[in-house]
Structure formats: C-alpha cells, structure tokens
Amino acid sequence: MNLRRDVFQAIADPTRRAILLLLASQTLTAGAVAANFNTARPTVSKHLAILTECELLKQEQSGREIYYHINAKKMKEVADFIEPFRQMWDDRFNKLESVMKAYQQKNKDDGTKNEN
C-alpha cells in the first residue's frame, strides 16, 4: 500500500477534495461531514484520517465531539504546487517573446537597408 502522506496524495482523490471544500467555510464533526456524502461512513472516516495525517485538517476536541477544521497553512502548499508549472510556462513565453522580437528587429533592419 502506498503510504505517501503529503498534500498531493490528499488532493488526488475527488471525495477528499469535496471534504476540503465543505470544511473550507465551517468546522464540522465526522458525522456531519459524512451526512454530506452518499459514501459509507467508514469510507468518509478513512478520508478524514488521511487528510488529518496529511495535516490539511486539524482535529479539535469539544466535549465528546471531535471537530474537523482546515489547516490554512498547509493549504498554501497546495497553492504553491502549481508554481513550478507556472515557471515553466513563463520561461516558454519569455522565449517566444524574445524569438519574435529578434524577428521583428531583423525585419526592421532589412527595411532600413532596402530604403538605403
């Protein structure tokens, strides 16, 4: 079994992404989270456990209930994960810009030569 426990593992599953969305605006117990899904309760519990292990969720004991809430700091890692992808595109587009600028300049130079 794959025991990788990081944010990428966490968001790779659609149910887990749905749980994160649900908890983005509120704090809920495991039962309340499960009530939002057709999935069996133990399955939801398993997803909550993985999200907690990945540190995307934090548990808070309140009397007899355990409440789950989003760990905003860890969520930032999810936002950061597109950063290298963005870098790659930025590099590519910079290249496009410089190639086309060189072409533009060459045409201008040729134009000047023709005029002379």
Partner 1 sequence: MELKTKIKAEDGRQDLLITREFDLPVELLFKAYAEPEFVEQWMGTKVLKLESKSHGSYRFETSDAKGNVVFKANGVIHEFSPGKKIIRTFEMENAPFGIQLEIYEFEALTDDTSKLTMHVIYESADKRDQLMQLPFKQGLNMAHNRLQDVMGKLK
Q: Which residues bind partner 1 (CB under 8 A)?
A: 8, 11-12, 14, 17-18, 20-21, 78, 81-82, 84-97, 99-101, 103-104
Q: Smallest Cα–Cα separation from 78: which of 59, 60, 54? A: 54
Helix, strand, coil percentages, rounded to 5, for the chain: 65, 10, 20
Closest distance of CB 107 from partner 1, Å: 10
Instruction: Judge whether 58 and 71 are in contact, CB under 8 Å.
Output: yes
Select 60 or 92, whichever has its Cβ closest to partner 1. Answer: 92
Select 65 or 102, whichever has its Cβ closest to partner 1. Answer: 102
Closest distance of CB 63 from partner 1, Å: 32
Select 21 or 35, whichever has its Cβ closest to partner 1. Answer: 21
Closest distance of CB 17 from partner 1, Å: 4
Select 18 or 32, whichever has its Cβ closest to partner 1. Answer: 18
d(CA 100, CA 95): 9
Instruction: Judge whether 70 and 90 are in contact, CB under 8 Å.
Output: no
Gap between the terminal Cα atoms of the chain = 74
Closest distance of CB 89 from partner 1, Å: 5
